[in-house]
Amino acid sequence: MDMMHAAPAPMRPGPPLWLLAELTYRCPLHCVFCYNPVDFAQHADELGTDDWLRVLRQGRELGAVQCGLSGGEPLLRDDLEIIVAEARRLGYYTNLLTSGVGLTHERAAALKAAGLDHVQLSFQDSTREVNDFLSHTKTFELKQRVAREIKAQGWPMVMNVVIHRLNIDHIDRIIGMAVELGAEYLELANTQYYSWAFLNRDQLLPTHEQVRRAEAVTERWRSELDGRMRLFFVAPDYHDGVAKRCANGWGSTLMMVAPDGTALPCHTARMLPGLAFPNVRDASVRDIWFDSEGFNRYRGTGWMKEPCASCDQREQDLGGCRCQAYLIAHDPAAADPVCRKSPHHAQVLAALERAQAPREQPIVFRDRASSLRLSPDAAPTIAR
Partner 1 sequence: MSGTPIDGTIRPRIGAGFRLQWEPAQDCHVLLYPEGMVKLNQSAGEILKRCDGARSLDEIVRDLETAFNAQGLSGEVQAFVEIAAKQRWLQWT
CA atoms within 13 A on the CB side of 270: 25
**In angstroms, what is the minimal distance from the CB of 85 to partner 1?**
16
**In angstroms, what is the minimal distance from the CB of 248 to partner 1?**
12
Nearer to partner 1, 15 or 265 (CB): 15
Nearer to partner 1, 93 or 378 (CB): 93
**In angstroms, what is the minimal distance from the CB of 15 to partner 1?**
5
Nearer to partner 1, 66 or 192 (CB): 66
Write the CA distances from 372 to 36, 37, 375, integer angstroms. 14, 11, 5
C-beta separation of 236 from 180 below 8 A: no
Q: Give the span between the Cα atoms of 300 and 309, in whole angstroms.
A: 11
Q: Where are the beta strands (DSSP E) in the chain?
A: 18-22, 66-70, 93-98, 118-123, 157-163, 185-190, 230-234, 254-257, 263-264
**In angstroms, what is the minimal distance from the CB of 121 to partner 1?**
11
**In angstroms, what is the minimal distance from the CB of 189 to partner 1?**
12
**In angstroms, what is the minimal distance from the CB of 158 to partner 1?**
5
Nearer to partner 1, 28 or 156 (CB): 156
Q: Where are the beta strands (DSSP E) in 168-290?
A: 185-190, 230-234, 254-257, 263-264
> Under the rule (CB under 8 A), what is the footprint of partner 1?
14-15, 17, 62-63, 65-66, 68, 91, 93, 95, 117-118, 120, 154-156, 158, 184-185, 227
Instruction: List the end-to-end C-alpha distance of the chain, in Å, as a whole number.
Output: 34
Q: Give the span between the Cα atoms of 375 and 267, in whole angstroms.
A: 17
Nearer to partner 1, 80 or 159 (CB): 159
3, burial (CB in 10 Å: exposed 0-12, middle 13-18, buried 19+)? exposed
**In angstroms, what is the minimal distance from the CB of 341 to partner 1?**
31
Q: Give the span between the Cα atoms of 327 and 192, in whole angstroms.
A: 12
Nearer to partner 1, 34 or 64 (CB): 64
Nearer to partner 1, 68 or 278 (CB): 68
Q: Give the span between the Cα atoms of 2 and 302, in whole angstroms.
A: 12
Q: Give the span between the Cα atoms of 178 and 157, in whole angstroms.
A: 10
For 63-154, where are the alpha helices, taking DSSP H only? 80-90, 105-114, 128-135, 140-152
**In angstroms, what is the minimal distance from the CB of 159 to partner 1?**
11
Q: Which residues pair with 20 in a beta bridge?
A: 68, 256
Nearer to partner 1, 61 or 293 (CB): 61
